[in-house]
Amino acid sequence: MKANPKQGRTHMIRILKPIRKHGRLVSGLALLLLIANPLGAEENSVPKLFESGEVLAVTITAPWEDLVRKPDFQDPYPATMTYTDSLGKEWSHSLTVERRGVKRQQTCDFPPIRLRFEKDEVRNSPFRGQDSLKMVTHCKKPEAYDQFYIIEMLAYRMYNVLTDYSFRVRPLSVSYADSKGGHNLEKRFAFVIEDDGDVAKRNGFKKLEIPYIRSERLDASATSDFALFQFLIGNTDWSAMRGSDSGECCHNAKLIAPRPFGFDDLAIPLPYDFDSTGIVNPPYAAPAEGLGINSVTQRIYRGYCAHNDALPEARQKLLDRKAEILAVLDSEDRLDKRSKKSTLRYVERYYKIIESDKNFERMVVKKCRN
């Protein structure tokens, strides 16, 4: 069908006629500008927090001595964060900080932290859209401890190589200023973890909040990626079907899925919390009882037998991306020579297993759990 020029002119005239908006007359031209750039909207040329992998140097001012010395107080403390973004603009955000986690609170001198923002407070900044972020911190005073959490951060990035169904991370260099005049802590490495709702959103899903799930309701392909990756990093402390709290699935995993979650829809597990894995191997890590292993560095496959048909494809993906996964570790300048060497060796031992048909059958396929 040919276009009608007269119809097009009539359409433009209709658009350019004044219309009434909020009690005022707005010309058609102004309306077009309003649509292109809504009133009050600002350009966001600076990358959002997880769109960059560069270190962000921040100063967080809070009553840190109170937070550290009062482990029974789990409520939020008022705080301020200041930093300069990649375009040279200085920012200052009000927020709250609070203790989080279980194991690391019991063993660390400095606990993991949750940052909470008001969305209006971070509008147009690199933190725009954020309201709650987990921050992984240094645990103890010696800087040698930073190596453990650098490796933990790299585990997330290794999984990013395999799939977009994964948490992104952003490294920080944090200066801790005490708001009550107490001792300021030295600058230390930390990183923040993407919110599970944001992971779901960028993949076209919603986060799924249910008490438990059956293995056949988990996407076999994605869950095989998940399970073989946990085997790679030496993680046995997880469940993608149920959690320790009967009211929420899962344990060290989150679920995302289409909404509404229909009868034929499948959920996808997202792994997190890698500090007690074999690849990190901090002094406080110990394997769960009943697994038949003496150290977290010993690998044991804990994937589900229901997904064994999807294992060959997941295995091939890991084989194809071996060089990229090793490069995540080898290119990390924050790792000292000893840590880098031992971590690369640990991953190479994994590939000796999955590169062999015999070893893969014996140590993976036949070790699945029902």
**pTM recorded for the entire structure:** 0.87
Report helix angle 311-320 to 220-233, nearest 10: 50
347-367: average pLDDT: 98
pLDDT tens-digit series, residues 62-114: 999 999 999 999 999 999 999 999 999 999 999 999 999 888 898 899 999 99
User: pLDDT for 132-158, tens place per residue?
Assistant: 999 999 988 888 889 999 999 999 999
Instruction: Give 109's Cβ-side CA count (13 Å radius).
Output: 8
Q: Is the pLDDT of residue 34 over 80?
A: no
| 318 CB burial (10 A radius; 0-12, 13-18, 19+) | buried
pLDDT, tens digit, 9 for 90 and up, residues 225-278 = 999 999 999 999 999 999 877 678 999 999 999 989 999 999 999 999 999 999
Nearest one of 356, 236, 352, 252 to 292, comparing CA atoms: 236
Q: Mean pLDDT over residues 160-164, rounded? A: 98
Mean pLDDT, rounded, of the chain: 89
Question: Which single residue is written with the structure tokens 């009434």?
Answer: 20
112-125 residue pLDDT tens:
999 999 999 999 99
Confidence at 184, pLDDT banded by 50, 70, 90: confident
pLDDT score at 104 = 85
Report which DSSP code applies to 44. Answer: -
Backbone angles phi, psi at 216, to 5 degrees: -75, -10
Q: How far apart are CA 51 and CA 129, in angstroms?
A: 13
Query: Residue 30 — pLDDT band, cuts 50, 70, 90?
Result: very low
Per-residue pLDDT at 309 exceeds 80:
yes
pLDDT, mean of residues 342-356: 98
Residue 288, pLDDT score: 85
pLDDT tens digits, 205-238: 999 999 999 999 999 999 999 999 999 999 999 9
Residue 77 belongs to what H/E stretch?
A: strand 77-84
User: Is the pLDDT confidence value at 351 over 90?
Assistant: yes
Tokens (6 digits) for 312: 């060959």
